[in-house]
Amino acid sequence: MQPEDATSRPLPRGSAVHAAETAGRSQDARDAEFVASMAHDVNNMLTVVMGSIDQVGLQLPPTHPAFPDLSVARDAARRAAGMTKRLMLPGGQPALSAIDVNATIHNALRGLSRTLGERIAMTHELAADLWPAHTDAEELWQMLFNLATNARDAMPDGGTLRIRTRNTTLTAHCTMATRTVVAGDYVAIEVTDTGIGMSPSVQQRMFEPHFSTRAAAGRGLGMSAVARLAHDSRGGVRVRSEPGRGTAIEVLLPRAQG
């Protein structure tokens, strides 16, 4: 029998040997490893979720009224699995291509309305002549759900969420919430709510990772993710909001050329 290779055996976290082993590596490398291992475990759980959904689906006649929700659940789990795969790749890059933003929004509508709950109405106005956007469909999906979650949290007594798309051209560089966006053609996606709104001081900090006004309920990772995802496509985010008068968040994604 071969002697066991000590280096291939995982060392218990926090042990003296583990500490000595990891001391030579940067905190960033260790964080990346931790994220990858969590993503791996979450992915395993999602396999269970998808398998169980499939089992339920097999036991229902295709005309059963629960079928559409079941397929929303399966689609969401599949997308989540896709996100975890990306977390397992070091420096995972977005997959940019020409995306039909209206179609992505259409596909997300049922899942979004489940996120919002019954007290929030949802409307959409999607421009018929919308340009294709140079973006990553999965990342766009993540942005929509982050924005809808925040809108829901801002409307505890109910309200309306509106999703609008339009073409827009910036004739000059434009300073947006967290970066400057260059002049050019953009596809704009605006998510508006009738919720509690934000003071100027909250608007100034809302994109900071871990900034939250929602005490223990908030993680403060939604808006920093939206900004990061928009930047991945070389787009930007802008915000209009007033306390008590709702919020409009507009994501600009570059028009796909060609």
Ligand X SMILES: Nc1ncnc2c1ncn2[C@@H]1O[C@H](COP(=O)(O)OP(=O)(O)O)[C@@H](O)[C@H]1O
Using CB under 6 A as the criterion, which residues of the chain lie in contact with ligand X when the complex forms?
Answer: 150-151, 153-154, 193, 195-198, 202, 206, 211-214, 218-224, 247
Nearest approach in angstroms of CB 149 to Mg ion is: 5
Residue pair 237/249 in contact by the 8 Å Cβ criterion = yes
Three-state SS at 64: coil
Nearer to ligand X, 96 or 229 (CB): 229
* Torsions phi, psi for 76 (to 5 deg): -65, -40
When CB distances are held under 5 to 8 angstroms depending on the partner's kind, the choice from ligand X, Mg ion, none that residue 202 binds is: ligand X
Residue 128: closest CA among 147, 101, 108, 110: 101
Nearer to ligand X, 136 or 193 (CB): 193
Q: Which amino acid is at 131?
A: W
Nearer to Mg ion, 222 or 254 (CB): 222
Query: What is the size of the binding site for Mg ion (CB under 5 A)?
Result: 2
Nearer to ligand X, 76 or 143 (CB): 143
Residue pair 206/153 in contact by the 8 Å Cβ criterion = no
Q: Which parts of 155-244 fold into alpha helices (H)?
A: 200-205, 222-232
Pick from 197, 222, 246, 254 the residue near Mg ion by CB under 5 A. 222
Nearer to ligand X, 195 or 254 (CB): 195
Binding region for Mg ion (CB under 5 A) out of 3-11, 144-152, 187-195, 244-252: 144-152
Pick from 115, 135, 150, 247 the residue near Mg ion by CB under 5 A. 150
For 216-252, give one letter per residue: b (16+ CB within 10 A) or e.
Answer: eeeebebbbbbbbbbbbbbbbbbbebeeeebbebbbb
- Which H or E element spans position 174? strand 174-175
When CB distances are held under 5 to 8 angstroms depending on the partner's kind, the choice from Mg ion, ligand X, none that residue 198 binds is: ligand X
Nearest approach in angstroms of CB 240 to ligand X is: 11
When CB distances are held under 5 to 8 angstroms depending on the partner's kind, the choice from Mg ion, ligand X, none that residue 109 binds is: none
Residue pair 226/237 in contact by the 8 Å Cβ criterion = yes
Nearer to ligand X, 111 or 246 (CB): 246
If you search the block for the tokens 């507009």, which residue do you land on? 250
**Cβ neighbourhood burial of 146 (10 Å; 0-12, 13-18, 19+):** buried
Nearest approach in angstroms of CB 209 to Mg ion is: 12
When CB distances are held under 5 to 8 angstroms depending on the partner's kind, the choice from ligand X, Mg ion, none that residue 221 binds is: ligand X
Site residues, Mg ion (CB under 5 A): 150, 222
